[in-house]
Chain A
């Protein structure tokens, strides 16, 4: 039972730290609330969906920004999608970078866009790692006991 408490404590700490560092926001909490018996893997499903979507979008962005003649509209629409997805799951930092990215797109600033793309990739990989770690912790706890502590 120690390990359970320990694991629980770890999970809580880790989650709190994620919130404190701004990787996640309230929206994530909402998602967690939607998870119940009828829908036990809701969060994981949604987050996986987010990962897939984001990978795809980031690749699209790479391709778009590589072109000779930049189609800012296209870039903007991709970023918009990314922003939407990240805000839906509460990936705050990614969302913020997307907002800045959109501004650069409006200003048609190539340098800025490239910079933002890098940043977005960076943030995305960060949050991905964090979330994967979080899920692993949850799995461990689930394995050790039968429930995940609710916030």
Chain B
């Protein structure tokens, strides 16, 4: 028996308040790998090269990441994501599968002040995924406990200015918000490598290696790495074998579902039985909150 998670609004007033996720376990077939942080570049050829390499490496889904750093000084425009159809004519088929790669758009808000994050802004709705990168302890705490976001980014290019406390980490985990560690900075530079490993190990100590995703933050094709290599890299970041694999597969999928639910404001979740073949690469887990 197979189920598919659908989100939608019901016509009648609902007894449930706020976004709801349902915990459903579907028999998995194969692991689906995702890289949810591929940096946007205005150079179309470069971006196309990244998409093709990602498909070649076996990633089923990638997200083009637009990083937005608001400043209090002058009014700034939230970036507008380029429609995928404009980026690339034909999406390449994923290595080892029969389907083309799926490309999503993601917004990351780099925050130094609480006013910077405006999740109800219509400009945010143009993106499939939402991430925040808090730069202070206070903002990190708020992001974990309150912010309507899918991903919280962990700094990898500088020494962490604060330590991770259990309470906010647990708060994020309970809400289905994940933490992201990006690896390309560590590959580019030795000092960054130390910061990445130090910050990642710190995080894993607090979150026990759960609710973490590993992504590239690649600016070009040669900065990508294959899913098995990333899983192995996860060991350096303090993840166990199993946790590292989840960090590039099932946890990423949970992020996508969290995002879907978030985008349907008062989303009601229900399941319905659908045909087996439509679920060729499904392995979904969700949480009831």
The judgment on whether A and B are partners is no
Task: Give residues in A with beta carbon < 8 Å to B.
Answer: none
